[in-house]
Amino acid sequence: MSDDVLSVIPTDPHWQPSKAAADRAAAIVADLAPGTPGGVDVEIDVTWHDTLTVVDCGQNLERIGCPHCGASIDTEWWAALLEANCEDGFATLAVEVPCCGVESTLDALDYDWPCGFARFEIAIWNPDRIWFTDEELAALGAVLGHPVRQIRAHI
Ligand SMILES: [Zn+2]
């Protein structure tokens, strides 16, 4: 059995909201993804991460592009990186990319589908919709107190 998870995270990987702001944002998310009557219950998880945590797109990942040389970065390299940091999170996003050796940061790479890093996350398990609209994301960001982006994972 597989799951689809739509996550909303702050655009700044280090940023965290207050509890009250997070509660208000989670309430809006629940309104926007209410589930289907008689269908599967939508589950919403609100998480504060102690360390920088990857919010990856799982099996939706098709390609990682290098923003410096344009090469495709081996997804095995990415998978090994996730494996190595899955328990303690990421101490830093600084990285030397394997293609051209440039010093970059992990959140600057071109992920298709998008991946991100966060210390706060609202995750919607098996939502009855694909993506939030730009207007909905803007409204969520306004309530939360920081602009947000969305990641969709298939796991
Ligand atoms: Zn490169």
What distance in angstroms lies between residue 19's CA and the mean position of ligand 1's atoms?
39
pLDDT at 87: 84
Q: What's the helix, strand, coil split of the chain in %, to 5?
A: 25, 35, 40
As a residue count, the chain comes to 155
* C-beta of residue 12 within 8 angstroms of C-beta of residue 120: no
Number of domains comprising the chain: 1
Biggest alpha carbon–alpha carbon distance for the chain: 52
Domain range for residue 109?
4-35+42-154
pLDDT at 117: 97
Successive 10-residue mean pLDDT values, the chain, 155 residues: 93 97 96 80 91 95 97 95 90 95 96 97 93 97 98 97
Structure-token pair, residue 121: 């996350």
pLDDT at 97: 96
Residue 9, Cβ density class (10 Å: 0-12 exposed, 13-18 middle, ≥19 buried): buried
What distance in angstroms lies between residue 13's CA and the mean position of ligand 1's atoms?
22
What distance in angstroms lies between residue 48's CA and the mean position of ligand 1's atoms?
32
Structure-token pair, residue 93: 């996003």
What distance in angstroms lies between residue 66's CA and the mean position of ligand 1's atoms?
5
What are the residues whose beta carbon lies below 5 Å from ligand 1 (ion)? 66, 68-69, 71, 97, 99-100
pLDDT at 122: 98
Q: Is 80 left (phi over 0), alpha (psi -120 to 50) or beta?
A: alpha
pLDDT at 38: 73
